[in-house]
């Protein structure tokens, strides 16, 4: 399929706009609020936001990261999520072209983007995201069929099984709550979707990103502060990288031997 720069821009802008909606979901879903009502409003002063306030990335830049009405600081997280979604959507189009697989991968990546930031904020992964991912994985086995049933089951067993083992080991050694079953469920779901090879890439990517981020975060935090770091966001990010570039990474890695 010929690559088309117009579609690339379309996917990028579409990603920005959807990323803006994902910000709403990230904020509201763990708080059990409706994602449709009320309309977007400033979380400080409650003022309803107009269309000029809701332009992805640009509104934040134009307003210099402050609410137009009350001057409260607006986190750089919002434009970051929008930009990330835009880049992921454009990258996925670049990698897969206009295919059915692309549609599935975009939904999978979208679930993971929301899971990443909800887990950072609340240290939970709402079950509805896991269920949506499981439905997507099974749908993909029937419709996309680039992962066989056998690969999907092995991927799910590796992802869920490894995290469960780490969790149980943590309980045994440290005599307290391990990583939490949220991570086990997340990787069971992601493993089913990704299949064997991409699941292994996802886990390795999560460990690498987690290790690098861990060093940076722990260095910046004072001893008295909370040193706990959830692993879920790294698992979600690792899975997202793997769905986009897992095959490329695996091929490159194997070519080294």
List residues near Zn ion by CB under 5 A.
Answer: 42, 44-45, 67, 69-70, 72
| CB closer to Zn ion, 67 vs 88 | 67
The number of CA neighbours under 13 Å toward the Cβ of 61 is 8
**Looking at beta carbons only, is 70 or 216 nearer to Zn ion?**
70
Q: How far is the CB of 20 from Zn ion (least distance, A)?
A: 17
Q: Where are the beta strands (DSSP E) in 64-218?
A: none
Closest to Zn ion by CB, 45 or 135: 45
Q: Closest by alpha carbon to 121, among 257, 1, 236?
A: 236
Q: Which residues contact 222 (CB under 8 A, 6 or more apart)?
A: none
Given the complex with Zn ion, which of 45 and 61 has the nearer CB atom? 45
Least distance in angstroms from the C-beta of 71 to Zn ion: 7
Report in angstroms how near the CB of residue 53 gets to Zn ion at its nearest: 10
Nearest-approach distance from CB 66 to Zn ion, in angstroms: 8
The nearer residue to Zn ion, 13 or 42, going by C-beta atoms, is 42
What is d(CA 117, CA 124) in angstroms, rounded to the nearest whole number? 10
Write down the least CB distance from residue 115 to Zn ion, Å: 28
Q: Residue 18 Cβ, how far from Zn ion at the closest point, in Å?
A: 24
**Nearest-angstrom CA–CA distance, 100 and 96:** 9
9 token code pair: 């821009």
Q: Which is nearer to Zn ion, 44 or 99 (CB)?
A: 44
Residue 64 CA to residue 186 CA, distance in Å, equals: 36
| Token digits of residue 100 | 């059915």
Of the two residues 45 and 100, which places its CB atom closer to Zn ion in the complex? Answer: 45
Minimum CB distance to Zn ion, residue 179 (Å): 37
User: Among 177, 50, 205, 187, which Cα is nearest to 129's?
Assistant: 187
CB 256 within 8 A of CB 231: no
121-154 burial, b at 16+ Cβ within 10 Å, e below that, comes to eeeebbeebbebbbebbeebbeebeebeeebbeb
Asked if the peptide bond before residue 38 counts as cis, ω within 30 degrees of 0, the response is yes
């Amino acid at each position: 399929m010929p690559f088309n720069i117009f579609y690339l821009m379309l996917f990028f802008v579409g990603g920005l706009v959807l990323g803006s909606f994902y910000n709403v979901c990230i904020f509201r879903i763990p708080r059990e609020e409706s994602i449709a009502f009320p309309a977007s409003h400033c979380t400080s002063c409650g003022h309803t936001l107009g269309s000029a306030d809701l332009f992805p990335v640009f509104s934040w830049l134009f307003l210099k990261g402050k609410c137009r009405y009350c001057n409260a600081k607006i986190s750089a997280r919002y434009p970051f999520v929008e930009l990330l979604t835009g880049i992921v959507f454009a990258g996925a189009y670049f990698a897969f072209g206009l295919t059915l697989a692309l549609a599935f991968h975009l939904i999978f990546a979208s679930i993971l983007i929301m899971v990443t930031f909800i887990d950072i904020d609340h240290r939970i992964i709402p079950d509805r995201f896991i269920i949506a991912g499981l439905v997507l994985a099974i749908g993909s086995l029937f419709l996309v069929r680039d992962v066989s049933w056998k690969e999907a089951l092995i991927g799910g067993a590796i992802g869920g099984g490894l995290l469960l083992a780490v969790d149980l080991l943590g309980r045994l050694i440290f005599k307290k709550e391990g990583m939490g079953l949220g991570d086990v469920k997340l990787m069971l779901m992601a493993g089913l979707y990704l299949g064997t090879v991409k699941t292994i890439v996802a886990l390795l990517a999560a460990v690498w990103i987690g290790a690098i981020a861990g060093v940076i975060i722990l260095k910046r935090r004072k001893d008295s502060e909370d040193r706990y770091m959830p692993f879920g966001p790294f698992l979600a990010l690792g899975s997202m990288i793997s769905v986009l570039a897992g095959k490329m990474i695996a091929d490159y890695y194997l070519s080294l031997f």
